[in-house]
Amino acid sequence: MPYTAEISRTNPTCILFLIDQSSSMEGPFGGQQGKKKSEGVADAINRVLQNLVLKCAKADGVRDYFHIGVIGYGDTVTPLLKNVSENKVLHPISAVATSPMRVEQRKRLVDDGAGGFTEQSYRFPIWFEPVAEGKTAMYGALELAKQVIGGFLLRFPKCFPPLIINLTDGQPSDANPMQIASEIRALSSTDGQVLLFNAHISEQETVPVSFPSDDNRLPDIYAKVLLRMSSVLPDKLRLAAEEEGFAVNPNSRGFMFNADLVALVRFLEIGTRVASHVR
């Protein structure tokens, strides 16, 4: 079970995001000054979705290499991306691409090719707004995730193993999530076990931690529990992380603390990746 299945239109994989929308997310985000945790998460998820769409976009449209779902949890557990479809949790990425809630006009500085920079306007899609209210039904969200991933595996039994990314400040209010997390990681396609990654965002202004193998640098018990819930990085993803400059070892886990989430999906390989250093 080597995590080598090709991700293609006929054999897509699935990426499911679980988003903590509880009231504690109203607190300040240690990772970015002046932002609330809920805003940090909304920004991260929008950028990750944008990156995933761009990975699949070609001149003739968006290729459905991924099925994407976003589940929010607060007092209740709710499938989001309602703009894409009211009823389903998972959506082909081509549908996600064409159905953001809105598209913002933003500006950025780009290389002008002559040694300077020039301002360029661009469109940034918004699928997800910050929400922070109620409790933290993380267990319930993981239960729904297990059900959704189970359905996907029946449909695509040979797929590259689905990836679940849970974004939270880490304090579940409904039940201990360790057991359900372990049940999720035990699900598998013919290519390997389902991957559960956790991204912990915190009020603490500490150094970001990416893909740790132990909890030495993690500041609180919630982060430590989330680390234990996270899958060990398969060799292929670990090597990709290493190529991107992360310090990893064979016990590194899919866990991030106050770190850039885009890195979590950058490794998913659908062909030649365009790295930042290229000319």
Partner 1 sequence: MTSQKPFRWSSFSQPKKGHSLAEYEDSAAADLSVCRFAIADGASESSYSGEWANKLTFGFIENSLLQAPNGWADWLPPLQKLWANSVPASPENISWFAEEKLHDGAFATFLGLEFTLLPNERTYQAIAVGDSCLFHVRDDKLVKAFPLQAASEFSSRPALLSSKPRSAGKTPMEKRLLANFLPGDIFYLMTDALACWFLTELESGKKPWLDLNDIRSLPTPEMFFETWVTTQRESAALKNDDITLLVIDALE
Instruction: Locate all alpha helices (DSSP H) within the chain, ordered by sequence.
Output: 37-56, 93-98, 138-155, 178-186, 221-229, 235-243, 262-266
Count of positions on this chain that bind partner 1 (CB under 8 A): 41
Backbone angles phi, psi at 238, to 5 degrees: -65, -40
Q: Is 123 in the site for partner 1 (CB under 8 A)?
A: yes
Minimum distance, C-beta of residue 124 to partner 1, in the bound complex (Å): 8
> Hey, what's the torsion of the CAs at 205, 232, 141, 31, to 10 degrees?
10
Q: Is 235 in the site for partner 1 (CB under 8 A)?
A: no
Q: Which of 111, 129, 183, 235 forms a contact with partner 1 (CB under 8 A)?
A: 111
Q: Which of 62, 68, 77, 132 forms a contact with partner 1 (CB under 8 A)?
A: 62
Letters for 34-53 (x = contact with partner 1 by CB under 8 A, - = none) are: ----------------x--x
Residue closer to partner 1 by CB (options 250, 277) is 277
Q: List Cα–Cα distances, 188 to 45, 92, 161, 267, 274, in angstroms.
A: 25, 21, 7, 20, 30
Residue closer to partner 1 by CB (options 146, 266) is 266
Looking at residue 74, what DSSP letter applies? S
Question: One-letter amino acid identity for 69?
Answer: G
Residue closer to partner 1 by CB (options 220, 244) is 244
- Please check whether residue 55 is in contact with residue 270, taking contact to mean a CB–CB distance below 8 angstroms: yes
Q: Which of 36, 43, 88, 124 forms a contact with partner 1 (CB under 8 A)?
A: 124
Cα–Cα distance measured from residue 191 to residue 254, given in angstroms and rounded to the nearest whole number: 18
Q: Is 190 in the site for partner 1 (CB under 8 A)?
A: no
Q: Which of 1, 9, 158, 208 forms a contact with partner 1 (CB under 8 A)?
A: 9
Backbone angles phi, psi at 67, to 5 degrees: -110, 135
Minimum distance, C-beta of residue 277 to partner 1, in the bound complex (Å): 7
Minimum distance, C-beta of residue 139 to partner 1, in the bound complex (Å): 35
* Residue ranges in 73-102 that form contacts with partner 1 under rule CB under 8 A: 97-98, 100
- Interface residues with partner 1 (CB under 8 A) are 6, 8-10, 50, 53-55, 57-60, 62, 97-98, 100, 103, 110-116, 120, 122-125, 240, 243, 269-275, 277-279
